[in-house]
A and B are shown apart, each in its own frame.
Chain A
Amino acid sequence: MQEHPRTLFDKVWSSHVVTKLSGGVSLLAVDRHLLHDLEGGGSLTRIADRSLKVHNPELTFSVPDHAVSTAPDRRVDSTPNSSRLLCEMKERSDAAGITYFDLGSEGQGIVHVIGPELGLSQPGMTIVCGDSHTCTHGGLGALSFGIGATETMHVLATQTLRQVRPKTMRIALDGNIAPGVAAKDIILATIGEIGTGAGRGHAVEYAGSAIRAMSIDQRLTVCNLSIELGAKIGMIAPDDTAFSYLAGRPYAPKGEMFDRACTYWRTLPSDADACFDTEHVIDASKIAPQVTWGTSPQDVIAVDQRIPDPARESDPQRRQAMEAALSYMGLKPGDAIEGTPVNWVFVGSCTNGRLSDTREAARVAAGRKVAPNVRAWVVPGSEATQRAAEREGLDKILLSAGFEWRKAGCSMCAGINGDIVPPDQRSVSTTNRNFVGRQGPNARTHLASPAMASAAAIAGHIADPRKLG
């Protein structure tokens, strides 16, 4: 008998159902639980206070990223909160038998950068973490999503989660991506086209020739912004690109076990005739470098376009939101976005803090100088990324162009460690959220790719990196 065709999501989800509970809720087994410094230590303390045990410490990994200083000479106590958070997390992790990647070790970095980099994140796994950008790991074909603090405790105590099965959505991105266009541009344009709430209640699978041609770093960037599409899960079918990425990584399976895992991973991609609840098709060949103009990731245009006019918007709620966004951003409808002066540039984060992103920023900056009115930071996503970039000499290129080269962490994406954009200053940032106050009170954030950010640093205003060559 022919088996019912299934999607990648269906296969991974159903293989992790421990038992079905009433009301459409499943008890889902968790393969990897990642803890970071904001909630990690506190959650472990609350588990201990309730006299509960960590169910599977060997499947749990903890790393500091949000609250850590990114200063080149940083220490555990360099930011007001990091000392307390990091000490609690390290002590509690050690006591529970959980691997903790301390500052200064090659495993330290942004949790969504180190997971793939260390080979902890693998195809077909369920991966959860108390951070909404956990969807990133879907770039390797994992079913990964962000959870809250109470769910974090539930996973610590039971290695499972109670979850309602989401619907499925396929976004087919076909066509050859134009030269000078980044994965960030592809996903920003997608959000601009279908909207920031479009993926709500769905697990998204990104498919199509443009996705298949992407490197794993690029796929991780695409999946990272799934939550900005409203979807807490984003996935890409694992293929040879994923398998060769994982081979040899410290926590990836080895030898014969790798081959066995690979055989299993090859069964995971969606069957040819699998059905999705919702489908979108986007022509990736038409996408140009993108930049946001407003306070939602869906407020995005190509770098050569003009800022939209709320007066042309028919929906009154949307019109009001656009007016408020333009007022916050200090922009005028009808102006070209290119040429808008900027004060800050940030290259980093779980969206664009990987080695290939650093290379892109350095490529654009090579032999040039950061404009005098701009302060530009590159914050590598992990210690390993930093070391690899330094081996390639990328730090020297960036430093001699006038960029600051810092230590790994979330830094200016969330601003929790004190790395913020000052009030009313304008930043071009490779991060994921341009929300009101996200990079600091009254900070004005333009989301863009590493090449766009680097070009803005050099030009002193929003610029098209393709023109810089």
Chain B
Amino acid sequence: MQKFAQISGTAAPMMKANIDTDVIIPAKRLVGHKREELAAFAFEAHRYRPDGSDNPDFVLNMPRYRGASVLITGENFGCGSSRESAVWAMAGFGFRCVVAPGFGDIFYNNAFQNGMLLIRLPKEQVERLAAELESGAAPSMTVDLQEQVITAPSGRQTRFEIDAERRQALLEGRDEIGMTLARDMDILAFQERDRVARPWIYETSPRNEPA
């Protein structure tokens, strides 16, 4: 997994609540495309006009926000489907960090598995950041995970909270499968105890094989 320590770059405001993962990447793109190809379809329904050209009104197409690596957005971002492709499409598009009042629970876990930092801030603070991006000169922002601080274009700093475990995993770019397998003795011991307590869980041959 890609490490995350500190990034500086363009930040784009997309202040809409409940942006779902079907909007981030439509279902029809989930088959037949490699992960690295998904960026072309990120926010597809809003990003392109019916003739396939860029929709100039879509915020990520505006010259000011091109190449953004930080997204400032509304409540419940990434709700809906569990598709991790939503994270891959956004990462391919260049995003490393999303700031919102809240995120869909499954999207939240998926992002951290891919080196993407999601920051929860109170709604007023998110709206203030978005307003600053829209009014200020260059909409650039620095996100420092080590210090847990966002620096807005004006230089104003906002502190954010994050689970210690998730923070450490991002800073180190951890491979969680490897780390968990290092605890396989614990897992096997759990299963051994559990086989005694709940033997039916492990008896999975069918009574009658489905025809």
Which chain A residues have a beta carbon within 8 Å of chain B's beta carbons?
A: 18-19, 21-25, 27, 29, 31, 38, 50, 52, 55-56, 58-59, 67, 80-81, 85, 99, 101, 105-107, 118, 120, 122, 124-125, 130-132, 134, 145-151, 153-154, 157-160, 162-164, 166, 196-197, 200-201, 227, 230-232, 248-254, 257-258, 260-261, 264, 296, 317-318, 320-321, 384, 414-416, 433, 435-438, 441
Contacts and interface: CB of A to CB of B under 8 A. Distances in A.
A261 to B, nearest CB: 5
B105 A232 contact: yes
Contacts of B82: 130-132, 134, 146-148
B137 interface: no
A97 to B, nearest CB: 11
Given A148-B113, A151-B113, A415-B27, A253 B180 contact: no
Interface stretch (B56-64, B140-148, B183-191): B183-191
7 contacts: A38-B30, A148-B82, A196-B76, A201-B102, A232-B106, A318-B17, A433-B80
A231 to B, nearest CB: 7
B20 A435 contact: yes
B105 A106 contact: no
B204 A441 contact: no
A132 B81 contact: yes
Given A132-B106, A149-B85, A158-B187, 14 more contacts: A29-B187, A106-B210, A107-B210, A132-B81, A146-B106, A147-B109, A154-B177, A162-B180, A196-B79, A249-B207, A296-B18, A416-B31, A433-B22, A435-B20
B15 interface: yes
Interface in B110-124: 110, 113-114
Nearest to B87: A148
B196 to A, nearest CB: 12
B51 interface: no
B134 interface: no
B198 interface: yes
B194 interface: yes
A435 B22 contact: yes
Interface string B1-39: 000000000000001111010110011101110000000
B109 A253 contact: no
B79 A150 contact: no
B58 to A, nearest CB: 13
B207 A197 contact: no
B190 to A, nearest CB: 4
A132 B166 CA distance: 22
Contacts of A145: 106
A318 B75 CA distance: 11
Contacts of B190: 18, 29
Contacts of B106: 132, 145-148, 227, 232
B201 A23 contact: no
B28 A416 contact: yes
Contacts of A29: 187, 190-191, 194
B105 A166 contact: yes
B186 A18 contact: yes
B203 A158 contact: no
Interchain residue pairs A-B with the least CB separation, the first 10: A23-B165, A148-B110, A148-B84, A150-B113, A253-B200, A23-B164, A146-B82, A106-B210, A197-B76, A132-B82
A18 B187 contact: yes
B207 A251 contact: yes
